[in-house]
Amino acid sequence: MAVAEEDIHVPIDRDVDVVTAREKGRELASRLGFSRTDLTLIATAISEVARNIVVYAGHGELVISPAQQGERCGIAILARDQGPGIPDIGKAMLDGFSTGKSLGLGLPGARRMMDEFEINSTVGAGTTVAMRKWVR
């Protein structure tokens, strides 16, 4: 029987927290039975959304937890901040669009690496990114 996994909360305030978040995410994903390739994809996606918090919002949090849907199991990653928000999400999701602090591949890249990706943002209130990936 699988051991019940607790949600992992990782506060994101500095660049080193990005490393902590992706390491914790990789550890949980590994326990959940993801392949090596998927572990790298998950860790990279976490790195991108966590860095967005550091660069654009300054402070925020990642919640990494196991996900279950019928027979499927997977990993859920929630990234949230109370930063300035994204005025045009459509644009932010375009490859190569950046306000100048990055290559502009983080969000669209994370979406490609995960199975499910949802972003909500309110200018002045913050941004939430919810991503899930299922064990194949």
3-class DSSP string for the chain: CCCCCCCEEEEECCHHHHHHHHHHHHHHHHHHCCCHHHHHHHHHHHHHHHHHHHHHHCCEEEEEEEEEECCEEEEEEEEEECCCCCCCHHHHCCCCCCCCCCCCCHHHHHHHHCCEEEEEEECCCEEEEEEEEECC
Residues between 71 and 110 with contacts to another protein, criterion CB under 8 A: 95, 102-103, 105-106, 108-110
Q: Which of 10, 43, 79, 86 binds another protein (CB under 8 A)?
A: 43
Q: Applying CB under 8 A, does 112 fall inside the site for another protein?
A: yes
Query: Quick check: 132 binds another protein (CB under 8 A)?
Result: no
By CB under 8 A, name the binding residues for another protein: 15-16, 18-19, 22-23, 26, 36-37, 39-41, 43-44, 47-48, 51, 54, 95, 102-103, 105-106, 108-110, 112-113
